[in-house]
Structures are given as C-alpha cells and as structure tokens.
C-alpha cells in the first residue's frame, strides 16, 4: 500500500508542478503581450507624434502684410507694422522693475517654438515664471490689439554655449517652448527654416529686424519704440575671418552681414532671406554680436547660422515631445531649462549694446 501512496504523491506533485508551469508560461506570455502592446505601441505613437511635427510643418515665410523692401536700406528704418509677423519680443520681469521689460528679439518657427540667442538667458534662465514671449508687436510702449503673449514652459540653450566662461559666443542659439499653441493671424505667423548646412553666397541681401538701441550708449542702451528693419549684404566667411575683420572670433557656424557702418541690431532677433523675390522668407541667422555703438571699419554684424544647427533644433523638439508624452495625466507638467552653468554676464568686447543693457538690467535685478 505504501507503494501506491507514494505513487499518488508523485502524481500530485507532478500535477502541481504542471499547474505552476502553466501559470509561469501564461504569466510570461501576458508580460510579453503587455510589453509589446503598451511599450512598443506607445513608442510608435510617440514616434508618430514626433514625425508629425516635422512632416506637418506649418505654412511659413509669407507675410499677410508684405514688408516694404523696395529701397536700399543701409542704416535701418521703421518697419511696416506687422510685416515681419514671426518677430517675437522676449520680455523678462526683473526684481528691479515693476513690470515686464523687453530684452531680446526672437523668431517664431513653429506653433509652440521660438528661436533666439543663448545669451539672452545669461540671467534668469532657470526662472521661467519671469519670462513671456509677445507676438504681433510693433510698438513696445503700449499694449496693442494685435499682440498675443505666452508664458514659457522650457528654455533650451545649446550645451556647447560657454560664454562668458570662454571668450567666444559660439553655439549662441536657444529654443523657447511656449505654454500654448500659436494661432496664426494676419499679424502673427511663422518664419521658415533654411535647408541643412545651407551657406549664403557673398553679397546676398538679407534683412535683420528688431528693436535695436537708439542711443549708441552701450552703458545706457534703450530699445527703439517701434520695430526697425535693415538690409544687409552677406560678407563671405573667408573675408570675415581675416585678421583685420573678426579673425578667430568668427566661426564657420556663423554668418557675417553688413556694410562699413555698424548697424544697431536687436540681440537674438532674426536675419531672414529669400531664395528669390516673392519666395518664402527663411530665418538664416540669429543676431549674436557686432561693434558697440561706434563706427568700426571691417566689423560687420555676426549672426548664428541657423542651417548649421538644424539637427540640434529637431533633437530638442523631439526630446521635449518624448518628455511630455512620458508623463501621466496625474503628474504635473514640470517647466525647466537646460544648460544653466552661466550665472552672470561679463561683457564681450564686441557685443551689441543690447547685451550691455541685458547685463545692467539683470545685475540690478539680481536677488541678494
């Protein structure tokens, strides 16, 4: 009888083992199914959303109100109101002032993205609540019916930007994420991006816009009340890198533009060009540095060349979408900025007066 009982026990053990084995394989199959369905499918959804951002790029570069560009503008003139509809007034609220102050220009390139210069954010880069991006602006002295202002949910400076730790403003590019989607109007629309690594030929005429300094005083710079525009010819890189021009300070990722006389441009603002008359306007440059408030021969204005940074622009936008998609509906949206290694502004000898204005405004408003 003990043999029979032993046999029954072995059968029961085998039965329980098979049941556990079935549960194990069932659980493993369930895990694999859920992994494929939720993780892989989720990544496909995110990839589709990322790809749609670049494939469904909004209509760009065609102003509803055409700019007045029939004359040869050398020293600049007031722009036709809202004829450069991608122009952004970047405004900050420092401790030293009771309200927002215009500090930099920017370019609207997508429904939630503004392109600008990295050292617009030498101060207050990690205090997003201080910033707002105003579109549809022409006159800075009062609120206009055409304007629309957005708060900021992200500031992304290029990780290679090290000024003033190193005496160069290379990688002077940043992206700002708006807290809502822009609805285009007659006064607000997007600038196009150029082709990757596109290099403009020498002599090509482009237009820079912004609320540049009116005083010529780098220590007490004051932005223009209304938006200005100036036509500038491209200076070839081989010329601009000569010792009697900008020498080592200019890099292949920059564009030099200008005449013999310096032009007071708005820091961070756009340099836009057309491939042909009547074609779309593309933002080829971001105002970076130039002569300060005095006539300097062979010192054209220098712009960050947008076409050199298209992969970086797309990577930032892609990363931002992934971060947004990875958060659940119950989690708060965390606003943040990147590359916050720069704490104070030291004036680069050849920067525009707008940079000096930024320094004095920010230093005065720095918390103690």
Phi and psi at residue 258, to the nearest 5°: 145, 175
pLDDT at 182 over 90: yes
**pLDDT surpasses 80 at 343:** no
Q: In whole angstroms, give the CA distance from residue 362 to residue 221.
A: 13
pLDDT at position 336, please?
43
Give the model confidence (pLDDT) of 118-144 as tens digits: 989 988 989 999 999 999 999 999 999
Mean pLDDT of 219-248: 88
Does residue 365 carry a pLDDT above 50? no
Q: State the DSSP code for 163.
A: T
Per cent of the chain over pLDDT 70 is 65
Tens-digit pLDDT profile for residues 231-240? 999 999 999 9
Give 101 or 345, the one with higher predicted confidence.
Answer: 101
Q: Could you tell me the pTM of the whole model?
A: 0.76
Q: Are strands 228-235 and 77-78 parallel, antiparallel or unpaired?
A: antiparallel
Residues near 108 by Cβ (< 8 Å), separated by ≥ 6? 85, 86, 87, 88, 114, 115, 135, 182, 188, 189, 190, 191
């Amino acid at each position: 009888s003990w043999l029979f009982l032993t046999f029954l026990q072995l059968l029961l053990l085998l039965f329980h083992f098979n049941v556990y084995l079935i549960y194990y394989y069932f659980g493993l199959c369930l895990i694999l199914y859920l992994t494929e369905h939720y993780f892989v499918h989720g990544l496909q959804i995110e990839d589709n959303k990322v790809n749609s951002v670049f494939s469904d790029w909004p209509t760009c570069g065609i102003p509803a109100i055409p700019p007045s560009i029939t004359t040869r503008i050398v020293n600049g003139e007031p722009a036709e109101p809202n004829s450069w509809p991608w122009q952004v007034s970047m405004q900050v609220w420092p401790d030293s002032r009771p309200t927002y102050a215009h500090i930099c220009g920017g370019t609207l390139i997508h429904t939630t993205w503004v392109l600008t210069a990295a050292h617009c954010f030498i101060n207050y880069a990690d205090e997003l609540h201080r910033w707002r991006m105003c579109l549809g602006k022409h006159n800075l002295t009062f609120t206009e019916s055409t304007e629309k202002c957005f708060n900021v949910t992200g500031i992304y400076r290029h990780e290679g930007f090290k000024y003033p730790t190193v005496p160069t403003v290379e990688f002077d590019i940043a992206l700002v994420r708006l807290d809502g989607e822009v609805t285009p109007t007659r006064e607000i629309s997007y600038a196009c991006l150029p082709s990757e690594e596109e290099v403009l030929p020498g002599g090509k005429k482009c237009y820079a816009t912004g609320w540049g300094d009116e005083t010529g005083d780098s220590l007490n710079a004051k932005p223009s009340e209304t938006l200005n525009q100036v036509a500038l010819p491209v200076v070839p890189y081989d010329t601009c890198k000569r010792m009697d021009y900008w020498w080592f300070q200019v890099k292949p990722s920059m564009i030099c533009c200008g005449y013999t006389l310096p032009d007071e441009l708005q820091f961070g603002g756009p340099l836009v060009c057309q491939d042909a008359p009547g074609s779309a306007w593309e933002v080829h440059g971001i105002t970076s540095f130039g002569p300060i408030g005095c006539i300097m021969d062979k010192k054209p204005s220098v712009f960050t060349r947008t076409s050199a940074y298209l992969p970086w622009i797309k990577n930032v936008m892609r990363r931002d979408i992934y971060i947004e998609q990875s958060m659940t509906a119950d989690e708060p949206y965390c606003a943040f900025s990147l590359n916050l290694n720069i704490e104070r502004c030291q004036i680069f000898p050849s920067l525009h007066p707008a940079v000096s204005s930024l320094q004095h405004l920010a230093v005065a408003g720095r918390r103690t």
